[in-house]
Structure 1
Amino acid sequence: MNPTLIVSLIVIGLLAGILSGFMGVGGGVIMIPLMVLFLGYSQHQAQGLSLAVLSVPVTFLAAYTYYVNPLEGEAPFSWKFGIVIALSFVVGGLIGSKFAVAIPQNVLRKSFAVILIIAAVKMFFTK
């Protein structure tokens, strides 16, 4: 691997990790566009690599930090809820990936962009 590629990979990982830990956004929201822009990956390649990166060990430490540092007067989140959601996420991820690999890249990329826009607008205008 050439040094520029290594630096690009490190920057993508750091930005995704920092923003994921700081804002709770899925690292894929950050990594996928960066992989398309900086690595020249197709939408399919970027989504696949993002899923490979976002495994349990990557997110556990950030989640643990939130668990042990709840806001004053709040209980920490429920690990039981997290386990149920995670197991459902595994099934949903399998189903979603089966659909995604069957969709042309331009449709997949536009669908991804629409979801990001809807989420951004909703978050911006919600009090």
Structure 2
Amino acid sequence: MSVALVFIGMIIGGMSGFFGIGGGTMLVPALMLLGFDIKTAIGISVMQMVFSSLYGSWLNHKKGHLNLKEGAVIGLGGFVGALGSGWLVKTVPEIVLETAFVAVVGFALYRFFTAPTHVDVDAGHDLSPAVLAATGATIGLFAISMGIGGSILLTPILVGLLHYPLKKAVSAGLFFVVFSSISGFISLSLAGQIDYRHGLLVGIASLFGVQAGIWLAGKTGNKKHKNALIVLYVVILALMLKKIFLG
């Protein structure tokens, strides 16, 4: 069991570093296949996201790919937006939420696909704090309502709609996870839903994966990196469509 958890942690960490995602979408089902119940799996996943997002964001900042000020504005906006998720889930039918999610992902994916790949990481992107905060708040509202971290929405929106440089958008996506994962970790800890022993094992293992993933992302050209992200988003979009139409 321990060997399997270390291996899974490294794989998920690598995906977090390379794609700028939390990794819960893949980690929770993998843990359930190992025999963990869904609540324990979610707790372990959240703990892993704290490790990978904090360490990955630090590495990205060292490389100059993460603007902490802009990332904090987006993240705090997401935190505020997430506060309305309970109301949204309570008042809006699930099918409407799912349809809206698919529509947003589909549109963002289209704009992401058509966005230029040659934008330099140091290129300017004159975005006001209000725009960044509003983007984070909107993503936080819908993402938490759908039970996801939000980076899967943030990256294509930053690149496709706000013309953010690709590498910085991926880094901002991972930094966005810091806010949601820490909030979730505190909440689940208070509720007694964290398996600290296994969470620590997976979390520490994910650090090695994150470092490898960020190194690989740095060695990957913008075009190949973008194509890999598109494949990931298409798979997630297909899974969401399957859930809506086939259950």
TM over 0.5: yes
> RMSD between aligned alpha carbons?
3.0
2:221 pairs with one of 81, 92, 104: 104
Identity of aligned residues (%): 16
User: How much does 1:20 deviate?
Assistant: 3.6
- Measured after TM superposition, the shift of residue 99 of structure 1 is 0.8
Aligned residue number for residue 46 of structure 1: 169
Cα pair distance change 1:124/1:67, threshold 3 Å? farther
Structure 1 position 83 matched with structure 2 position 230: no
Residue of structure 1 equivalent to 2:241: 124
Q: Secondary structure at the match of 1:9?
A: helix
Equivalent residues of 2:150, 2:177 under 8 A apart: yes
Residue by residue, what CA displacement relative to the aligned partner does 1:30-56 show, whole Å, maximum 9, x if unpaired?
11112113432122110122223332x
CA distance in 1, matches of 2:140, 2:201: 23
Q: Equivalents in 2 of 1:11, 1:79: separation in Å?
A: 35
Q: Partners of 2:142 and 2:209 in 1: how far apart? A: 24
The whole-number CA distance in structure 1 between the counterparts of 2:230 and 2:186 is: 30
Distance in 2 (alpha carbons) for counterparts of 1:122 and 1:94:
28
How far apart are the structure 1 equivalents of 2:199 and 2:144? 16
The whole-number CA distance in structure 1 between the counterparts of 2:207 and 2:195 is 19
Q: Distance in 2 between matches of 1:10 and 1:16?
A: 10
Structure 1 range deviating more: 75-84 or 107-116 = 75-84
What is the identity, as a one-letter code, of the residue corresponding to 1:91? F
Specify the alignment match of 1:72 in structure 2.
none
Shift of 1:87: 2.5
Is residue 60 from structure 1 mapped to residue 182 from structure 2 by the alignment? yes
Spell out, residue by residue over 1:50-97, the C-alpha distance to the aligned partner (whole angstroms, 9 max, x if none): 223332x5422234446667xxxxx94534443333333322221111
Structure 2 SS opposite 1:41: coil
Asked if the contact 1:35/1:41 (under 8 Å) is kept, the reply is yes
Letter in 1 for 2:172: L
Secondary structure of the residue aligned to 1:54 is helix
Structure 1 residues without counterparts, runs of 5 or longer: 70-74
Provide TM-score, normalisation by structure 2. Answer: 0.41
User: Counterpart of 1:109 in structure 2: which amino acid?
Assistant: K
2:168 alignment partner AA = Q
| TM-score normalised per structure 1 | 0.71
Amino acid at match of 2:204: L
The one-letter code sitting in structure 2 at the alignment partner of 1:10 is A
Which 4+ stretches in 1 moved above 6 angstroms?
Answer: none
Q: Which amino acid aligns with 2:182?
A: F
Q: How many residues align?
A: 120
Q: Equivalent of 2:151, from 11, 28, 36?
A: 28
